Amino acid sequence: MLTMTHNRLHSVVHRNNLVPPEGGFFADKNRSWWESLTLPPVEKLQVRQDLAMLDHLEPQIAEVGQELARQWPDPLHRTYHKTGVQGTALPALPSRTGVPPLLAARTVAG
């Protein structure tokens, strides 16, 4: 859902030949940029709904990350629960590749 929402917002920028803001499309400091865009009413609605979706998803993703950290508190010195995978696999996937924590856990778990 997060990638789909990001892609929809990127498409609004490209479709309308907009110059993106400095510091990343989805940084908190750029929220006012999104809200100030002059767009057709339907696209303005889409942007508002996609921003609301991001507001909804971000705490849920953070909660998943917290749960994974709770389940694997010492990833460098322990075998992951029920997987037999050693140490660094789970933390390396999200931090080095941008893989979301839940997908990383599913990938490591097999």
Confidence at 61, pLDDT banded by 50, 70, 90? confident
**Domain shared by 6 and 57, yes or no:** yes
**Domain shared by 42 and 84, yes or no:** no
**Domain shared by 82 and 109, yes or no:** yes
Query: For the chain, what is the mean pLDDT?
Result: 76
**Domain shared by 4 and 29, yes or no:** yes
Q: Residue 82 has what pLDDT?
A: 46
**Domain shared by 1 and 49, yes or no:** yes
Count how many domains the chain has.
Answer: 2
**Domain shared by 7 and 59, yes or no:** yes
pTM for the predicted model, two decimal places: 0.63
Reported as a single tens digit per residue, the pLDDT across 8-46 is 999 999 999 999 888 888 888 999 999 999 999 999 999
**Domain shared by 55 and 85, yes or no:** no
Q: Residue 62 has what pLDDT?
A: 80
State which residues form the domain around 49.
1-71
Q: Kindly state the average pLDDT of the residues 65-69.
A: 75
Q: Kindly state the average pLDDT of the residues 62-90.
A: 59
**Domain shared by 103 and 50, yes or no:** no
**Domain shared by 17 and 41, yes or no:** yes
Is the pLDDT assigned to residue 3 strictly greater than 80?
Answer: yes
**Domain shared by 26 and 42, yes or no:** yes
β-pair partners for 79: 86
Closest Cα partner for 30 from 20, 39, 38, 40? 20
Q: For residues 2 and 34, which has the higher predicted lDDT (pLDDT)?
A: 34
Closest Cα partner for 91 from 82, 106, 101? 101
